[in-house]
Structure 1
Amino acid sequence: MILKKGQLSDAILILLILLFLFTPLGFYAKVQLMRLFSFAPSIEKQETSQKLTDYNWQLVDVEGNQSNFSINRGEVIIINHWATWCPPCIAEMPSLVALHEDYGEKVRFIFLANDDSEKVRSYLNKKDYAIPVFFENTQTPTALKASSLPTTYILDKKGNIVLKEIGAADWNAKAVKDLLDTLLVEH
């Protein structure tokens, strides 16, 4: 059976769509596209509608060490819900890692993985990321739950949620750094 020119182009288009949707090649293509179209989160002065009141949240790091989120009370905190199988999560990760490298001593970072610990450990090693990754050991406080990935929260020192961003963003943007600098000097 010989394909006509139109049929051949249709077959190639279908093959490309299948590659994009169902193969690792497609996963990385989605990541690259999302990186191209990631912008800084919208940082506007807004009324804080939610405040974290329950800091009693048990976490486990990638090495299996347990900790309680309450040790972060009184700090500026960034919580990022993510997974290795999530293209938008992987797309925004380099900007979060860069932000962590700039602010890691001043701001508390919680990279909350919604994934298998071995996959997370393998991903971190492959990318050579030195970030504080945790898994839930008890249920996430209601104010910090994520219904989709990625979801990132920034909390001020009083526990006010000053920013909630759903979807990939450029976290190493000047607007984010300006917000963090402002939050760090507040009492």
Structure 2
Amino acid sequence: MKKRKFKISDIIFVVFIVLLFIPQTRTPIQVAVNKLKVAIWSPTVEDVEDQNQVTPFQYTVVDMEGEAKSISVGKGEVTFISYWATWCPPCIAELPGIQDLYTNYGDKVNFMLLTQEAPEKVQRFITKKGYDLPIYFPQMQAPEVLQENSIPTNYVIDGKGNIIIKETGAADWNSKKVRTLLDDLLIKKQGD
């Protein structure tokens, strides 16, 4: 039997696998892989007949300063909801796009980034990354139609409570497709 010669690609593959087992390198590698997905994956707009609807409600949350708030969902305002965590590689990969979207639409769209983590941990994360996002800690159970077991899960909800986008996993939230959708939803809102 012939001995197989190792190729450089074999060595790279073995090093890659070993790095995935080292905790300090695992997350950065997973984030990098998810960033590749974000670069090509724009969220999917639900077909009108497949759209679920959330009954308008007040989402009870606490902000980063510990202040209780009640945010309207489905009551005339376009809303972006993101369930995420600081330890989640797909969440980390898509946050720069969400930050860019928030920078341009934060004064016109209700943004809620919801996490169950300790506020101190979240504060360290957003400070380190330089994010300026509306992060909240839910104080109530979300309506059933907004419950999902995986993160990230993101929703774009129109002013009537129609769930226009429900996306699980990393996606490019700063895409032309999402911006066009938000522009259209905001124009419809003005016409109502």
Where on the TM-score scale, by shorter chain, does this alignment land: which range? 0.7 to 0.9
- 1:13–1:156 CA distance, 2 compared to 1 (3 A): closer
Deviations 1:18-57 (A, max 9, x none): 4314412120111011111221112354325321115133
Following TM superposition, by how much is the alpha carbon of 1:160 offset from its aligned partner in structure 2, in angstroms?
A: 0.9
Q: Which stretches in structure 2 are left out of the alignment for 5+ residues?
A: none
Q: Which residue of 1 aligns with 2:86?
A: 84
Superposed counterparts of 1:47-126, under 5 Å: 47-70=49-72, 73-126=75-128
Following TM superposition, by how much is the alpha carbon of 1:118 offset from its aligned partner in structure 2, in angstroms?
A: 1.3
Q: Which residue of 2 aligns with 1:34?
A: 34
Is residue 25 from structure 1 mapped to residue 18 from structure 2 by the alignment? no
Single out whichever of 21-30 and 91-100 deviates more from structure 2. Answer: 21-30
Q: Which residue of 2 aligns with 1:138?
A: 140
Q: Identical aligned pairs, as a percentage?
A: 41
Following TM superposition, by how much is the alpha carbon of 1:119 offset from its aligned partner in structure 2, in angstroms?
A: 1.1
Which amino acid is the alignment partner of residue 19 of structure 2? Answer: L
Residue 128 of structure 1, aligned match among 127, 130, 155:
130
Following TM superposition, by how much is the alpha carbon of 1:120 offset from its aligned partner in structure 2, in angstroms?
A: 0.6
Deviations 1:32-83 (A, max 9, x none): 1111122111235432532111513310111101111237721000001000
Which amino acid is the alignment partner of residue 168 of structure 1? Answer: A
- 1:24–1:51 CA distance, 2 compared to 1 (3 A): same
Q: Judge conservation of contact 2:154–2:167 (CA < 8 Å) in 1.
A: yes
Which amino acid is the alignment partner of residue 24 of structure 2? Answer: P
- 1:169–1:13 CA distance, 2 compared to 1 (3 A): closer
The list of structure 1 runs, each at least 4 consecutive aligned residues, that deviate by more than 4 angstroms after superposition, is 9-16
Cα distance in 2 between the residues matched to 1:98 and 1:21:
33
Deviations 1:133-174 (A, max 9, x none): 001111112121121000000000111111100000000000
Is residue 178 from structure 1 mapped to residue 185 from structure 2 by the alignment? no
Q: Secondary structure at the match of 2:43?
A: coil
Q: Judge conservation of contact 1:81–1:112 (CA < 8 Å) in 2.
A: yes
Aligned residues: 181
Cα distance in 2 between the residues matched to 1:10 and 1:77:
48
Q: Judge conservation of contact 1:72–1:108 (CA < 8 Å) in 2.
A: no
Single out whichever of 79-88 and 36-45 deviates more from structure 2. Answer: 36-45
Q: Judge conservation of contact 1:48–1:161 (CA < 8 Å) in 2.
A: no
